[in-house]
């Protein structure tokens, strides 16, 4: 992980009081069933491109740091409704690509468009509102808030009451607050951690924290969900479960961009894979073709960690 700028935000987030906590207790009602949760979580947002068409286009994207070209003239697209894997050896430029797409880094050249509209120059918050959400290699949650509160924060981004409405607790604000709690519980149920809704996120087991990050990202109803190494630190059984969750997310109408080192997971879950090496794109194909691609095999030769092998 090389984006130190992100680490400092983690600390800030952990210490931040966050937005005023809108409720003190988890609601008495039982959490929704799996099928109810899936229904609530289903993507309900207007997207102007059809399933299978280009949702995101990355054209000639270049990012340099001083003399180092971390991303070199990279172009690829992401089709609505697919799970696209972004892989490559350590330092290949995957996180830099994510960061340039989500407004953390300003690209040196090139463009990123969502539904044909450029995102360049937009601040991170504006890019979130436009429809990108992401999780981070180094988990970033509001540690002093409960799991449910962390998700409700994400939902707040989609709310319409004014600050004044919230202060005077207008009927619309109260309605939104209630539906946020129900929606938040459904999201926690969907990712499989509703039993820990009332626990402070910093006290949650590691696997729960990773799932909570996904729930919080889903709360913004993203047009593109970017997952940065979501399986890091997981055991094989947890990885298997995560694969199922990512597929279900896709099946609920979301489009997913996945950076992941575990090849078994990438090959098992992705519809298509883009491979980077030294900042350049070296392949873009379906998993079977990627596994047999000589340039990809060569890029991974010499990588000692078993997980990084393409076989």
Ligand X SMILES: Nc1ncnc2c1ncn2[C@@H]1O[C@H](COP(=O)(O)OP(=O)(O)OP(=O)(O)O)[C@@H](O)[C@H]1O
Which residues of this protein are in contact with ligand X, per CB under 6 A?
1-3, 65, 68, 70, 88, 90-96
Residue 271, classified by CB atoms within 10 Å of its CB into exposed (0-12), middle (13-18) or buried (19+), is middle
Nearer to ligand X, 127 or 275 (CB): 275
The SS3 assignment for 169 reads coil
The least CB distance from residue 101 to ligand X, in Å, is 12
The least CB distance from residue 272 to ligand X, in Å, is 18
Cβ distance 246 to 60 under 8 Å? Answer: no
Nearer to ligand X, 63 or 215 (CB): 63
What is the torsion angle, in degrees rounded to the nearest 10, for the CA atoms of residue 248, residue 254, residue 260 and residue 265?
30
Distance between alpha carbon 118 and the CA centroid of its chain, in Å?
20
The least CB distance from residue 110 to ligand X, in Å, is 15
Q: How far is residue 262's CA from residue 299's CA, in Å, rounded to a whole number?
A: 15
The least CB distance from residue 301 to ligand X, in Å, is 17
The least CB distance from residue 173 to ligand X, in Å, is 40
Nearer to ligand X, 2 or 8 (CB): 2
**N residues, the chain:** 311
Cβ distance 230 to 261 under 8 Å? Answer: no
């Amino acid at each position: 992980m090389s984006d130190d700028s992100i680490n400092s935000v983690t600390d800030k987030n952990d210490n931040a009081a966050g937005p005023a906590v809108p409720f003190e207790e988890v609601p008495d009602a039982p959490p929704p069933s799996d099928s109810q949760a899936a229904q609530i979580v289903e993507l309900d947002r207007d997207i102007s491109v059809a399933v299978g068409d280009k949702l995101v286009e990355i054209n000639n994207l270049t990012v340099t740091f001083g003399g180092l070209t971390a991303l070199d003239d990279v172009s690829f697209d992401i089709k609505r409704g697919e799970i696209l894997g972004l892989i490559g050896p350590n330092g290949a430029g995957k996180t830099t690509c994510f960061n340039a797409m989500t407004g953390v880094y300003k690209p040196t050249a090139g463009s990123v468009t969502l539904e044909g509209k450029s995102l360049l120059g937009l601040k991170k918050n504006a890019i979130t509102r436009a429809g990108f959400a992401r999780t981070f290699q180094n988990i970033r949650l509001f540690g002093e808030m409960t799991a449910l509160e962390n998700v409700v924060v994400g939902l707040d981004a989609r709310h319409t009451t004014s600050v004044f409405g919230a202060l005077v607790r207008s009927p619309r604000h109260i309605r939104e607050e209630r539906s946020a709690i129900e929606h938040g519980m459904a999201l926690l149920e969907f990712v499989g951690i509703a039993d820990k809704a009332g626990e402070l996120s910093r006290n949650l087991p590691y696997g729960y924290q990773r799932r909570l990050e996904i729930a919080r990202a889903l709360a913004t109803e993203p047009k593109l969900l970017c997952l940065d190494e979501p399986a890091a630190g997981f055991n094989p059984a947890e990885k298997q479960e995560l694969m199922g969750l990512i597929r279900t997310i896709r099946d609920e109408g979301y489009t997913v961009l996945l950076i992941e080192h575990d090849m078994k997971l990438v090959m098992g879950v992705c519809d298509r894979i883009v491979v980077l090496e030294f900042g350049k794109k070296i392949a873009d194909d379906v998993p079977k073709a990627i596994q047999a691609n000589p340039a990809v095999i060569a890029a991974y030769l010499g990588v000692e960690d078993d997980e990084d092998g393409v076989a």
